Amino acid sequence: MFDCYDLFDEVQLFYVMKWEIRLHGRGGQGVVTASKIIAEAAFAEGYQSQSIPFFGAERRGSPVTAFTRISEHEIRERSQIYHPDYLLILDPLVMRTVDVFQGLKSGGGVVISSPSAIERDVFPNIELTVGLVDGVGVSIRNDLVVAGNPVVNIPAIGAFLRIFPEISIECVEKIVLEKFGNRSVRALYSSYDETEVFRIRGSREKKKEERKKPEKVWIPASKPAKGVAGITGYWRDFRPVIDYGRCTGCLNCWIHCPEGSISRKNGDVEIDYTFCKGCLVCLAVCPRKAISSEREVSA
Ligand code: SF4
Ligand code: SF4
């Protein structure tokens, strides 16, 4: 059962600003680093922030996704981002294999690193602000080429700052200078200046499954899709175990489980160990301390 502080927490979230950003690119383009830099800059600006990478096949050239959350309030979600406010697409070719626009909110923003204009029918049929920049060109002109590969993540961040005013370019400059030096700072400012910003309503056919839930986040609930990352039960080092003598069935653990591994069956809360990845978020959020952890020992 929630105590009064939990309830206060939930109610507070109703009023706070929060942004979810999803980044798409290919292995070697610095997608994860871009996500971290944005999160770090947001934190320096006084926000709470979070950066989560998601790798498929871990090799150069394969699709890579990363997630950044920025909020005025503590961030409790640990799931992937399914309905982003912003998208950063570091390579337009990724759009051929990944439905990068999936779940994007109407009124949101998109950054695309591309040397040429993007056709209107590529965008979904919603209102969007687009920041278009030739990230590869910016990198080459600023001598930002590593091992023969133009570094496109810094130009993508520069373009993002044009459509996301919550983070100042001066704040990002400090981080980029410390981590990567002057060439990256020059590329950041070049990209910021060269980014073309425009509003668009795409003409791509609407997806059949329109979202039914409201745009606002009412509680800090994850929206996990069970099994989206495969059989995540193999990842576990520790196994959460419920003490049914203490459990009140409040379902706080269910709300926060990033893998959707907790359900209620026949009145009891149950953990699906096929998909439970052992993150122990459930243990941390249980108000009754009804969940403990055991070392996972596989045969
Ligand atoms: S440890 Fe708990 S929160 Fe994490 S995946 Fe397993 S059941 Fe879900
Ligand atoms: S185990 Fe889950 S349902 Fe049971 S008391 Fe803890 S948070 Fe609530």
Residue ID of nearest Cα to ligand 2 atom 7? 286
For residue 171, the model assigns a pLDDT of 97
CATH numbers and ranges of domains, the chain? 13-201 (3.40.920.10), 232-293 (3.30.70.20)
Based on C-alpha coordinates, what's the Rg of the chain?
21
Q: Could you read off the pLDDT of 250-288 as tens digits, one per residue?
A: 999 998 888 889 998 888 899 999 988 888 889 999 999
- What integer pLDDT is reported at residue 259 of this predicted model? 82
Q: Mutation test of ligand 2: which of 1, 244, 252, 261 has the most ligand atoms closer than 8 Å to its C-beta?
A: 252
What is the share, in percent, of the chain residues with pLDDT greater than 70?
82
Taking the C-alpha atoms of residue 161 and residue 243, their distance in angstroms, rounded to an integer, is 48
Token pair belonging to 189? 């400012």
Cα separation, 136 vs 133, in Å, equals 9
235 burial (CB, 10 Å; 0-12 / 13-18 / 19+) is: middle
Q: Which atom of ligand 1 is nearest to the CA of 262?
A: 7
Ligand 2 pocket, 126 CB below 6 A?
no
What's the predicted TM-score (pTM) here? 0.63
Atom 4, ligand 2: which residue's CA is nearest?
Answer: 247
